[in-house]
Amino acid sequence: MHIEDHDPLDRLQEASRQYRNTRTWPRVQAIILAQQGDTAPQIARALGFSRRAVQAWVAAYNHGGLDALPDRPH
């Protein structure tokens, strides 16, 4: 998976701690795993989400960085 280099790994890990116990946490984890070279199916299995969800999160991150990962108001 291609990941834009918006943030260094340590910044992503800090964001992961910040978003712990929120719906954003698995999204940040997906970006961390993708940056480490995991594929979408591997990430989906590890986090318990669909491959398509992982791909959507990566696409959102590539487009807008960490600010694109939290839930938007409905």
Its pTM stands at 0.89
The Cα 31–Cα 57 span in angstroms is: 8
Give the tens place of pLDDT for each residue, 16-71. 999 898 889 999 999 999 999 999 999 999 999 999 999 999 999 999 999 899 87
Higher per-residue pLDDT: 57 or 72: 57
DSSP state at residue 26 = H
Q: Which of 39, 33, 28, 30 is nearest to 1 (CA)?
A: 39
Q: Which of 23, 22, 35 is nearest to 61 (CA)?
A: 35
pLDDT at 73: 65
Would you say residue 74 has pLDDT above 80?
no
Length of the chain: 74
